[in-house]
Amino acid sequence: MFLAIDIGNSNITLGVYSGDKLIFVSRVSTERSRTPDQIAVELKQIFALHKVDINFCDATAISSVVPELSSTVQKAVQTVTGCKPMLLGPGTRTGMNILIDNPAQLGADLLAGCVGAAALYPLPCIVVDLGTANKISIIDKDGSFKGCAIAPGIRISLDSLSEKTSQLPNISLTTPSHSIGTNTLDSMQSGTVFGFAAMIDGLCSRFEKELDQGKCTVVATGGLSRDLIKSCEREMIFNGELVLYGLKVLYEKNNPKKKK
């Protein structure tokens, strides 16, 4: 079995594959103070919860945007599985030409998601990843990573709006029935949901025009994307496990004799 782990700013997401079949996905909150032993115990509990024997896990890969947790999770995984995880970073063979000013600056999760998209969908392709930060990336028809746009995440923006104003409340992220709000709650939800949807549509159009290679496939992933893309005008494919699948593809590229 193959274990893929994506360490994000808000959540740590893990997925377990048997061959090409995804057996389960689990998410836990990102807590930077946890020790390797604590994470090891949690991993064993998660596998037990899903009735999967962790001893059959013999290949692992990690992407991380939280450097202080990278080695901690690596040690925990090695403790419970007996195999050292591949940590996505400089030196990892990606099979993707990264055409940005400094390829070393490319986030591991963003790279894994784009590798997964390039393996699954027609090119050129735009990847919309909505999480703690909103990341919109583009892959050209040759499978090269051309660049991206990064914006504050939806939840960060919404929380900031409530914290920095005296009369605007905390609200849930719900799609309102109308874009023209007639009360504070509906107006805030409209500005958040439809505002971010319009931003995504607009950036996709700009990317497509600037790339000038025809119509792009658009794939959405990330914790908040499933519901938000319903408010976008552009047709999008939702794949919540895109980063995990990309990690699997990357592991197989770097360990061709150990495909899981």
pLDDT tens by residue, 72-96 = 999 999 999 999 999 998 889 999 9
Contact 255, 86 (CB under 8 A): yes
Q: 86, 25, 30, 247: which is closest to 38 by C-alpha?
A: 30
Give the list of residues 6+ apart from residue 236 with CB closer than 8 angstroms, or none: 128, 218, 219, 220, 229
More confident residue, 244 or 171: 244
For residue 94, the SS3 value is coil
- Confidence check: pLDDT of 118 > 70: yes
Q: Edge-to-edge, what's the strand order for the sheet holding 11-18?
A: 21-29, 11-18, 2-7, 59-64, 86-87
Burial letters 5-19, b for 16+ CB under 10 A, else e:
bbbbebbbbbbbbee
Share of the chain above pLDDT 70, in %: 97
Which residues are annotated as catalytic?
Answer: 109
pLDDT at 167: 65
Residue written as token pair 């689990």: 26
- Confidence check: pLDDT of 260 > 60: no
pLDDT, tens digit, 9 for 90 and up, residues 101-113 = 999 889 999 999 9
List the domains of the chain with CATH numbers: 2-87 (3.30.420.40), 103-245 (3.30.420.40)
Eight-class DSSP state of 191: I
Residues 161, 147: Cα–Cα separation, whole Å:
29
- Confidence check: pLDDT of 185 > 90: no
Q: Is the pTM of this model over 0.85?
A: yes
